[in-house]
């Protein structure tokens, strides 16, 4: 290299193109860096609407975008479709699934989390959770297949089990799933079947804690429970699931036969803390410093669901999309300040905008802290907020149109059983 040759710019490697990683990349636009963004999937996923894919309300392509396309105008960013398997922090290299390695100057870990089964990982095949598009299409396949099989099932107890849907965990995802499956069974499907009355499907929402939507104020939790019950959902609170098989679940000492069980409880962070042999909390989230760096490793940041950082009052920053985005923006600021030789910004401070959850059509709860909303107004606001956060005009229009159609006609156009659902089915039989 000649002495005049420019030094290759500072290399920032971002692992994970979820809410946190993508925000870091966006906020580093124009900075004197080259960026490599690594994700094991080729798309960025809007997880808050995954349950709508699982319940046939939206198509997968309406809530996911190819990462390459999102960054096509950024000549400073290289996108790699690869899974990270290890990090050599001494050599400052990451190892990818094909055995190749990639050197970094600064590393941003934004690898997110998955659902956890509280030590019962063997429950996963019978009670899938929702985290990826594959999960959502598999759950959709299971729900629709259960109705298909019930239509052909002459044995009454077996038919009842096929028409029983259990959702474990009454956080926002569990509540949203239960409400939408109830609407699917009561309003969308009845005319499609001849031998069964889909309105008789049982939807049972089981929660170990004392209330639904525990992160919300008590009155909103109570409203959510009442609204679910009005939709015909059986809400079982204070009951932990202690058994889960292809035949159904055991909870509160009783067995419930159910062909479809969906897991919406528990979170397990990605193995980033193990890669680094760094301190983590009990669900594997990396414990980071107030500037979101890994202790003793100022060149490594961890953000979003993969990390845990305390707020000034000691409560942890919640594992939600806005937190991951704010952390991503903050990390970009720190990197910029370092490269400019400026003093770093003050410690990360999370700004909580509010909590939202919907309970089927025309019912939602919103807690902004300073004001609480429930009912139809909250539902419309929830809808507008989600459409606003989607990427691209086409997707916004398409989702809005789908929702208006469901609102007016109760029709859900994505009622497709694809190979994911069929494969799960084969696996179960095998
Ligand atoms: C069903 C569901 C509903 C939700 N609803 C809401 C909601 O209504 N509101 C809200 O605010 N939050 C919601 N959340 C939470 C929110 O989605 C997360 O807090 C947010 O996605 C965290 O962002 P992240 O960037 O940390 O991780 P993610 O968005 O999960 O992104 C992680 C990325 O890392 C990639 N990755 C992981 N491991 C590797 C690896 N080894 N190699 C390469 N790439 C890897 C993944 O493919 C993924 O693209 C929901 C989550 C789920 C699952």
- How many angstroms separate the alpha carbon of residue 253 from the centre of ligand 1? 34
Backbone angles phi, psi at 11, to 5 degrees: -100, 115
Is 176 annotated as catalytic? Answer: yes
Distances (CA, A) of 12 to 32, 146, 344, 347, 430: 10, 47, 17, 21, 46
Q: Whose CA is nearest to atom 12 of ligand 1?
A: 320
Question: In the chain, what percentage of residues exceed pLDDT 70?
Answer: 96
pLDDT tens by residue, 156-180: 999 999 999 999 999 999 999 999 9
Contact 274, 283 (CB under 8 A): no
**Inter-residue contact 155 to 182 (CB < 8 Å):** no
Nearest CA to ligand 1 atom 3: 48
* Radius of gyration of the chain, Cα coordinates, nearest whole angstrom: 23
A 10 A CB-CB count for 427 gives 9
The 10s digit of each residue's pLDDT in 176-232 is 999 999 999 999 999 999 999 999 999 999 999 999 999 999 999 999 999 999 999
Q: Is the CB of 84 under 6 A from ligand 1?
A: yes
**Integer Cα distance of 209 and 170 in angstroms:** 9
The token pair at 246 is: 């292809």
pLDDT in tens, 287-297: 999 999 999 99
Read off the tokens for 205.
Answer: 């929402």
Best CA proximity match to 67, nearest among 37, 35, 42:
42
Distances (CA, A) of 300 to 1, 2, 107, 155: 29, 31, 5, 59
Annotated catalytic residue within 62, 176, 183, 327: 176
How far is it between the farthest Cα atoms of the chain?
Answer: 83
94 bridge partner residues: 87, 102
Could you count the other beta carbons within 10 Å of the beta carbon of residue 32?
A: 12
The percent of residues in the chain predicted with pLDDT above 90, rounded, is: 83
CA angle 215, 218, 222 (to 5 degrees): 105
The per-residue pLDDT for range 297-352, each reduced to its tens digit, is 999 999 999 999 999 888 999 999 999 999 999 999 999 999 999 999 999 999 99
> Ligand 1 centre from 305 Cα, in Å?
7
Q: Is the pLDDT of residue 26 over 90?
A: yes
Q: Are strands 364-367 and 372-375 parallel, antiparallel or unpaired?
A: antiparallel
pLDDT digits (tens, 9 = 90+) for 115-160: 899 889 999 999 999 999 999 999 999 999 999 999 999 999 999 9
The pLDDT, as a whole number, for residue 221 is: 97
Counting ligand 1 atoms within 8 A of each CB, the residue from 13, 14, 16 with the most, and so the one to mutate, is 16
Contact 325, 17 (CB under 8 A): no
CB 288 within 8 A of CB 300: no
User: How many beta carbons lie within 10 A of that of residue 329, not counting itself?
Assistant: 17
H or E, element range at 286: strand 286-287
């Amino acid at each position: 290299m000649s002495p005049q040759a420019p030094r290759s710019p500072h290399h920032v490697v971002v692992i994970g193109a979820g809410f946190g990683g993508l925000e870091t990349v966006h906020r580093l636009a124009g900075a004197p860096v080259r960026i490599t963004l690594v994700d094991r999937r080729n798309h960025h996923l809007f997880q808050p609407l995954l349950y709508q894919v699982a319940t046939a309300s939206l198509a997968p392509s309406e809530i996911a975008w190819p990462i390459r396309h999102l960054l096509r105008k950024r000549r400073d960013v290289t996108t790699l479709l690869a899974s990270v398997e290890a990090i050599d922090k001494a050599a400052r290299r990451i190892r990818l699934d094909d055995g190749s390695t990639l050197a970094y100057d600064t590393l941003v870990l934004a690898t997110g989390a998955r659902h956890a089964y509280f030590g019962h990982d063997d429950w996963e095949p019978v009670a899938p959770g929702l985290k990826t598009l594959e999960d959502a299409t598999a759950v959709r396949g299971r729900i629709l297949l259960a109705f298909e099989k019930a239509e052909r099932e002459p044995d009454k107890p077996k038919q009842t089990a096929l028409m029983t849907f259990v959702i474990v965990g009454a956080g926002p995802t569990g509540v949203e799933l239960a409400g939408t499956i109830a609407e699917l069974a009561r309003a969308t499907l009845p005319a499609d079947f001849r031998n069964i009355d889909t309105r008789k499907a049982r939807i049972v929402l089981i929660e170990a804690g004392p209330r639904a939507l525990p992160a919300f104020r008590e009155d909103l939790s109570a409203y959510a429970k009442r609204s679910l019950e009005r939709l015909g959902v059986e809400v079982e609170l204070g009951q932990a699931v202690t058994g889960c098989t292809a035949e159904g679940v055991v909870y509160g000492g009783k067995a419930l036969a159910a062909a479809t069980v969906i897991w919406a409880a528990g979170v397990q962070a990605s193995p980033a803390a193990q890669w680094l042999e760094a301190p983590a909390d009990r669900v594997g989230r990396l414990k980071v410093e107030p500037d979101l760096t890994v202790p003793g490793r100022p060149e490594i940041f961890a953000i979003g669901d993969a990390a845990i950082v305390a707020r000034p009052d000691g409560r942890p920053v919640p594992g939600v999309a806005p937190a991951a985005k704010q952390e991503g923006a903050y990390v970009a600021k720190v990197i910029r300040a370092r490269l400019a030789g400026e003093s770093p910004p003050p410690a990360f401070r999370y700004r909580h905008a509010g909590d939202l959850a919907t309970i089927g059509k025309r019912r939602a709860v919103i807690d902004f802290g300073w004001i609480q909303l429930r009912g139809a107004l909250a539902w419309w606001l929830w809808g507008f907020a989600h459409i606003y956060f989607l990427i691209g005009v086409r997707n916004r229009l398409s989702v809005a149109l789908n929702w208006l159609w469901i609102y007016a006609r109760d029709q859900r156009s994505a009622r497709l059983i694809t190979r994911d659902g069929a494969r799960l089915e084969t696996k179960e039989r095998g």
